[in-house]
Amino acid sequence: MSLVGARVLRKEDPNLITGNGQYVDDLQPAGCTSMVFVRSTEAHAKIRSIDTAEALALPGVLAVWTSANIAQLANCPGGLPGLDQPLLAKDVVRFVGEGVAVVVATDRYIAADAAELIVVDYEPLPAVASLSAAMAPGAVVLHEVLGGNTVHFQDFENPLDEVFAAAPRTASLHIVNNRCAPTPIEPNVCLADWGRSGLTLWAAFQAPHHLRNTIAQYFGIPQDSTRVVAPDVGGGFGAKINFVPEFFLTALLSKEIGKPVKYTQTRSECLVAMLHGRAQEHDASVAFDNDGRILALKLTVTQDQGAYPNGTGMGLPVLTTAMAAGCYRIPAVAISWRNVVTNTTPVAAYRGAGRPEASYTIERLIDLIADETGVDPVEVRRRNFIPVDAFPYATHSPLAMYDSGNFAGALDELLKHVNYEELKKEQEKRRQDPAAKLLGIGFASWLEIAGFGPPGSLEAFGHLASWESAQVRIQPDGSAIIFTGASPHGQGTVTTYAQIAADELGIDFDRISVKHGDTAVVPQGIGTMGSRAVAVGGEGVKTASGRVYENAKRIAAHLLEASAEDIVIEDEKFFVKGTPARSVPWSEVAWKSFQPLELPGGMEPGALDSTVFQQVPNFSFPSGAYCCVVEIDRETGAVNIVNMYLVDDCGTVINPLLVEGQVHGGVAQGIAQALYEHMLYDPSGVPRTSTLMDYLVPAASDLPGYITGRINTPNPSNTLGAKGVGESGSVGAPPAVVNAVVDALSHLGVKHIDMPVTPIKVWNILEGAK
Amino acid sequence: MTIRTSITVNGKETSREVEARTLLVHYLREDLGLTGTHVGCDTSNCGACTVLLDGEAVKSCTVLAAQVHDCNITTIEGAAQADGSFSPMQEGFRQEHGLQCGYCTPGMIMASTALLAENPNPTEEEIRHALEGNLCRCTGYEMIVNAVRWAAEHPNFTSGGAK
């Protein structure tokens, strides 16, 4: 029986449900010390002085550092030259949360006490806390070298003025894609131990080899004695692939004081120091005919980079504009983007990274076209879908060569679950009844770019390469260990990879282990991000397993005095097809694979060990159709999701249970962005949502149940056919939710509401209509 | 100022001289090495640190070790059955994929265990309400609700000692 496609329970769980997981903060090596930050309370200020005397005098304090202690060191890697963030602020701070000083003490209570004793004297400067403030004439400049606050502006190649002038109809929206804080429940944690035999850094990170490469380069130390370990990691969502000063400071301080140094971020720090996501504003225009057929699309993305732009943040508007047209055939598309710095936390990848922003805007525009033309939103989608026979489909962007999909098929599947005509009648009925809650139905036919990626794609974000490594090693007893460069943090990769390998090797699932997250154990690796762990890393496991299996068959054939092409396997026994009575077990093949006298001619010991650096020729393109049904309380403006219907096309499913979990989790974060979460700053740059009391991560009582369905168009870029599913929900959910809310209020002339759709926003609309 | 505190943790007597301000969660994690109880916030919102105090769910980041002198604490390390089998709640989380990264899971399991002790057959709505103080960023909660239902439906689950 094939395990690929089976609902297999996770290998990860027994440790995690018994308290035997091992997260970085659980490690307490002998002599371990604790590092605590003093972070800027000012959004923009000159540092006049820092008084550390009292802190240094506190018993138990081992070191207090400011930028003066590391003046000779380069800034934090990952930034743009000249605009990068110092490890500790030098002379000026540019956002609330920027590190100003660090204390190391024998325990975390003393370190926190000492941090309280440090006095920083600031000379406040004017701050720009929004895109409009940063771009206003005469705005204070964050980085003098830029001369302004725009880091980069990419103009339209052709603004399509003539197409828009000649179109029967046009419509435009200004859309704010709200800034979100990724908020994994485990904040950033790292532990450095830099002794005579080298540097070991344990880090809550999604890409340990990436960090190893960078930290060794930064310190000019050889990689043979630089080890990075990402043990159990408590969620990442893209935020744990960024280089932050914590990693470099714990390492330096460990070397300085000769003891392990641990940094455990508090939640309040995490909300301002862990990089944020989204934070885009869109100016979008669409030209269309009276039947709702789209003639042209024009999109300008303005990306808030926060105080220090980084490579990933700069890539966000590139991905957004590449995916601007969604799953629609649009004859003319014009894109433009601008990156701007503000006195806020820097911005980078957050689940979906640029693609949720794209799908949100195109799906809002589709509903706007429906509203303008009177054509049903479902029908507008159908009239504009790229048909199934059009793949491969070249878009306006060289990045996005769509390779597969069935957008109409996903919508058809969705409508089997949604009683759309009944809901529309119910909506009308309720509008006539002032005592009834308003009903709204919202659709999103979404498409994303995932499976990062073809050669060159991740290199553009500073990674070594875009392959993923897989080593399949048969042990002498016939069990198998998979080593992977993917570095999971909740995805269930240990389980899915064992499923893939079990099918390819013919070895029992229970006798396959998967090792990850340690650069001293896994030969090389890239990491888990961009929905790549199965589409690239899983494909690597399949390739390497296949190579091992071919050699195992040769050994078995030799032992059975048969020809390798006649060998088959069943229940871990190799035999000649048709004669199962005479067989050789996997354990014997494995054992003898290490004994030169037992091997077929030309084969060396170690033949059952294969390492693959799996490449893929293209990105993958997961897609789907979602429908959200909301009720709105006319008295309070509160939005309640009644039903959330989700049809995904992630290609081949390795484990339906885990795919379901990924969809739910992504959708939950998408609903959270649509209804609850917003990292807010006041005009002076002070964050107003810097604790979990103010930043609304939804609880179980805030979210609905989910009704899921699936179609499958296999990914043509790998033999598994899998596309990736980690980010899909966060791409598809926000437009479905907001389209539903706007639909509920459309009879009041509402065309758009920016996220998050809070009760007060809705209440103001309802009051205004009275 | 230090203070002598004696706490029964997972059925075992423990006694330490602690600073008066020592949080129970730090006592468990750092003094006793019971690192299954996690810290996810600093405002008592996330519930990752939930343990049972004399059978009731509490957030151990909001309790001082000295406050629970002479009390009984159960952590995730003490959640399994006497023969070593997973508890019905632990098994429910496994069966229903009620966890992904696992960081919130110990707190979720302890809070859910306390719920079933009080209400052995909760509805979906009651489960969602009872777990309001526990945040999960991975699952979207539906499978956590299913996990709690699984436990409610299998109160006599045992794996016969298999762990």
A21 touches chain B (CB under 8 A): yes
| Contact (Cβ atoms closer than 8 angstroms) between residue B48 and residue B104 | yes
B158 touches chain A (CB under 8 A): no
pLDDT at B132: 98
Task: Say what the alpha-carbon torsion angle A546, A549, A553, A555 is, to the nearest 10 degrees.
Answer: 130
Mean pLDDT throughout A448-465? 95
- Radius of gyration of chain A measured on its C-alpha atoms: 28
B146 touches chain A (CB under 8 A): no
Cα gap A407→A412, rounded to integer Å: 9
CB contact under 8 A, A692 and B45: yes
Strands A169-177 and A623-632: unpaired
Supply A248's token pair: 């470099």
Contacts of B43 in chain A (CB under 8 A): 267-268, 691-693
pLDDT at B162: 63
CB contact under 8 A, B43 and A692: yes
| Optimal mutation site among B21, B31, B100, B115, interface A, most CBs of chain A within 10 A | B100
CB contact under 8 A, A109 and B19: yes
B79 touches chain A (CB under 8 A): yes
CB contact under 8 A, A691 and B33: no
Task: Say what the alpha-carbon torsion angle A646, A649, A652, A653 is, to the nearest 10 degrees.
Answer: -20
How close does chain A come to B128, measured CA to CA in Å?
A: 5
B124 touches chain A (CB under 8 A): yes
Q: Is B152 helix (H, G, I), strand (E, B) or coil?
A: helix
Instruction: For B66-95, write each residue's pLDDT tens digit.
Output: 999 999 999 999 999 999 999 999 999 999
Contacts of A237 in chain B (CB under 8 A): 137
Instruction: For B107-162, write each residue's pLDDT tens digit.
Output: 999 999 999 999 999 999 999 999 999 999 999 999 999 999 999 999 999 987 66
CB contact under 8 A, A492 and B105: no
How close does chain B come to A588, measured CA to CA in Å?
A: 29
Nearest of A761, A738, A752 to residue A630 by alpha carbon: A738
By C-alpha distance, the chain A residue nearest B143 is A661
Mean pLDDT throughout A731-735? 98
pLDDT at A454: 97
DSSP H stretches of helix in A227-354: 245-257, 267-273, 311-322
B85 touches chain A (CB under 8 A): no
Cα gap A484→A669, rounded to integer Å: 27
Contacts of A697 in chain B (CB under 8 A): 45, 135, 137
A186 vs B40, B45, B129: nearest CB? B40
Q: Which fold has domain A13-125+183-273?
A: Aldehyde Oxidoreductase; domain 3 (3.90.1170)
Instruction: For A104-152, write each residue's pLDDT tens digit.
Output: 999 999 999 999 999 999 999 999 999 999 999 999 999 999 999 999 9
| Contact (Cβ atoms closer than 8 angstroms) between residue A488 and residue A181 | no
Portions of chain A given CATH number 3.30.365.10 = 280-452+618-768, 467-614
For residue A146, give the DSSP letter: G
Contacts of A183 in chain B (CB under 8 A): 137
Supply A142's token pair: 């964050």
How close does chain A come to B136, measured CA to CA in Å?
A: 7
3-state secondary structure A36-104: EEEECCCCCEEEEEEECHHHHHCCCEEEEECHHHHCCCCCCCCECCCCCCCCCCCCEECCCCCEEEEEE
Domain ranges in chain B are: 2-76, 88-153
CATH 3.40.50.1820 holds for A280-452+618-768: no
| Contact (Cβ atoms closer than 8 angstroms) between residue A106 and residue A34 | yes
| B26 has pLDDT over 60 | yes
Contacts of B134 in chain A (CB under 8 A): 699-700
DSSP H stretches of helix in A433-538: 493-505
Measure Cα distances from A73 to A37, A39, A65, A250 in Å. 18, 19, 13, 14
Mean pLDDT throughout A322-331? 98
Largest Cα span, chain A: 91
| B163 has pLDDT over 60 | no
pLDDT at A312: 96
| A254: amino acid identity, one letter | S
Mean pLDDT throughout A45-54? 98
Instruction: For A252-263, write each residue's pLDDT tens digit.
Output: 999 999 999 999
pLDDT at B161: 67
**CATH top-level class for A467-614?**
alpha beta
Helices A355-373/A377-384 angle, 10° precision: 110
Percent share of chain A, pLDDT over 70: 100
What is the average pLDDT value for chain A, to the nearest integer? 98
Cα gap A290→A640, rounded to integer Å: 34
| A166 has pLDDT over 80 | yes
| B1 has pLDDT over 90 | no
Place of tokens 């939710």: A737
What's the start-to-end Cα distance of chain A, in Å? 63
| A1 has pLDDT over 80 | no
For residue A393, give the DSSP letter: E
B154 touches chain A (CB under 8 A): no
| B70: amino acid identity, one letter | D
B80 touches chain A (CB under 8 A): yes
What's the start-to-end Cα distance of chain B, in Å? 42
Nearest of A191, A215, A208 to residue A77 by alpha carbon: A215
A706 touches chain B (CB under 8 A): yes
Contacts of A266 in chain B (CB under 8 A): 41-42
Cα gap A208→A397, rounded to integer Å: 31
Supply A341's token pair: 């710095």
A317 touches chain B (CB under 8 A): no
By C-alpha distance, the chain B residue nearest A264 is B39
A266 touches chain B (CB under 8 A): yes
Cα gap A493→A8, rounded to integer Å: 12
**CATH top-level class for B88-153?**
mainly alpha
A518 touches chain B (CB under 8 A): no
Contacts of B110 in chain A (CB under 8 A): none
Instruction: For B27-75, write each residue's pLDDT tens digit.
Output: 999 999 999 999 999 999 999 999 999 999 999 999 999 999 999 999 9
Percent share of chain A, pLDDT over 90: 99
Cα gap A30→A19, rounded to integer Å: 21
Residue numbers of B between 44 and 63 with CB closer than 8 Å to A: 45-46, 48
SS3 content of chain A, % helix, strand, coil (to 5): 35, 25, 40
Instruction: For A640-696, write each residue's pLDDT tens digit.
Output: 999 999 999 999 999 999 999 999 999 999 999 999 999 999 999 999 999 999 999
CB contact under 8 A, A665 and B77: no
**What pLDDT band is residue A56 in, cutting at 50, 70 and 90?**
very high
Domain B2-76, CATH among 3.60.20.30, 2.60.40.2250, 3.10.20.30, 1.10.1060.10: 3.10.20.30
A60 touches chain B (CB under 8 A): no
